[in-house]
């Protein structure tokens, strides 16, 4: 039925997906995933795990990824609140290696971003009581989980820190990740 608008980001592999809701006097209804619509738009990855996080304003989660043999792509949506969602290309040989793509996702704009395996992913919560949902193409693997520091100056992500008063909240674990030049990655760009 065409419930989604698909477009490609400047970095190969990243998809921007906009849901088209049905609205009436009761509110709205929208699909968040439809296998047929996704396949018609060339998306063939299979989702095997759904995650839900709740966070308050200023929380940074990331930048996380998993190495092979446990690759994980993520389809990310913010159903309540607002986030700045980011993916960093960590595919060796990619013309955009170390480059980032970010966009505001919110309950109002109904956008989603898909980051395939080979991207470090994270987000900054811009409002309290923010709920983020993501569908994953791989199961969580603690053994293969990796991450990079969220504010690596060489990557230069332009986080909208002014929207959170310049203060961020990180887990102890997320404060200790290496910069891009120190990460372990076994992804290779396939143009």
Catalytic site residues? 64, 134
Question: Tokens at residue 188, please?
Answer: 């290779």
Task: Please state, in angstroms and rounded to a whole number, the distance separating the CA atoms of residues 131 and 27.
Answer: 19
DSSP 8-class letter at 34:
-
* Secondary structure of residue 25 in the 3-state scheme: coil
* H or E stretch at 26: none
Which residues touch 77 (CB under 8 Å, ≥6 apart)? 32, 105, 110, 111, 112, 132, 133, 134
């Amino acid at each position: 039925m065409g419930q989604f608008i698909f477009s490609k980001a400047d970095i190969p592999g990243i998809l921007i997906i906009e849901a088209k809701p049905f609205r009436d006097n009761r509110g709205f209804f929208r699909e968040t995933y439809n296998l047929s619509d996704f396949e018609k738009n060339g998306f063939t990855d299979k989702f095997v795990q759904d995650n839900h996080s709740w966070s308050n304003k200023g929380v940074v989660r990331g930048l996380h990824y998993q190495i092979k043999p446990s690759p994980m792509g993520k389809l990310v949506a913010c159903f309540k609140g607002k986030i700045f969602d980011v993916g960093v290309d960590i595919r060796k040989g990619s013309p955009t290696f170390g480059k980032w793509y970010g966009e505001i996702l919110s309950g109002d704009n109904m956008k989603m971003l898909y980051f395939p395996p080979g991207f470090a992913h994270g987000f900054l919560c811009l409002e309290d009581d923010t709920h983020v949902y993501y569908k994953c193409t791989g199961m969580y693997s603690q053994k293969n989980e990796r991450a990079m520091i969220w504010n690596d100056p060489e990557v230069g992500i332009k986080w909208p820190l002014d929207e959170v008063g310049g203060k961020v909240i990180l887990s102890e674990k997320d404060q200790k990740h290496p910069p891009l030049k120190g990460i372990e990655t076994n992804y290779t760009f396939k143009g």
